[in-house]
Amino acid sequence: MNAPVSAALAANLPYYQPVADECAVFESAWRQQLPVLIKGPTGCGKTRFVAHMAARLGLPLFTVSCHDDLSAADLVGRHLIAAGETRWCDGPLTRAVRAGGICYLDEVVEARKDTTVVLHPLTDDRRILPIERTGEELAAPPGFMLVVSYNPGYQHVLKTLKPSTRQRFVALSFDFPAPQVEMAVLQQEGGADERLAARLVALAGQLRRLSGYDLDEGVSTRLLVYAAKLIASGMTPLAACRVALVEPLSDEPETIAALLAVVATQFEH
């Protein structure tokens, strides 16, 4: 069961609708000083979940969006020249360790494999961060937590975590929420009424069934929230779904036309 949260605290947390026991698992992992790996499709709530849990635990959050050119120095830090002198500048990983907060590496498989090796001393019983360029060896305080995420749908032979890295983490699998949960998200985050939320969630189900056939991935909960916000602003449902759900999913004219036809089944009357 999830740990109880006071009404005052809950009102100030980034909105997140729990699906199962993920909040309790995350909190338990933090208390036991264990790193967490979150797997799930684009836009299913991974980043919002981490922000929610950081606020819930009262921890500073340092987020890194990983990419092909991300280097170890980008994470740990580097010497910079300023005002005619050389100064050391901490990277986000080092800042998180010093602050005793959460360092969240989003889409960690996008980073170079030689970069992720720097995480290893923080993900075992040592919990240290060696900084070779300054000669420091930082011991992570009890509050520090390392969290990484990636989208298994984009995995291929060149973009996956090495077993020596994967097996250092407690893992959580995320997916798109159940219809009732997703409806609650659209009502809270997108300003949709119950009827509109139900229509958008039903449409999402139809579009997600096309994933793997005409689409690489199904429509995300994030995009559904965008559509709901546009409709709430006065845009017609067909126009909002076209720009928020259809166009982001494909560049192929035939596929776009087919998706618009699916949208029409929900909103033509």
Strand partners, 147: 36, 104
For residue 84, what is the DSSP state? T
What Cα–Cα distance (Å) separates residue 31 from each residue in 49, 128, 136? 17, 17, 26
pLDDT of residue 11: 61
Dist CA 92 CA 166 (whole Å): 21
Give the count of beta carbons closer than 10 Å to the beta carbon of residue 187. 16
% the chain with pLDDT above 70: 92
Domain boundaries, the chain: 7-173, 179-267
The band of 33, judged by pLDDT with boundaries at 50, 70 and 90, is very high
pLDDT of residue 24: 97
pLDDT of residue 77: 95
pLDDT of residue 171: 96
7-173 — its CATH code? 3.40.50.300
E-strand ranges in 25-139 read: 36-39, 61-65, 77-82, 85-90, 102-106, 128-131, 136-139
Dist CA 21 CA 205 (whole Å): 24
> Which token pair is 215?
């689409």
What digits encode the pLDDT tens for the residues 82-139? Answer: 778 889 999 999 999 999 999 999 999 888 877 888 999 999 999 999 998 889 999 9
> Which token pair is 27?
């909190």
Give the count of beta carbons closer than 10 Å to the beta carbon of residue 23. 19
Confidence check: pLDDT of 7 > 60: no
Query: Are residues 158 and 109 in contact, defined by beta-carbon separation less than 8 angstroms?
Result: no
User: Of the given ranges (23-37, 136-150, 218-232, 249-263), which has the lowest mean pLDDT?
Assistant: 249-263
Q: Classify residue 54 by burial, with Cβ atoms within 10 Å: 0-12, 13-18, 19+.
A: buried
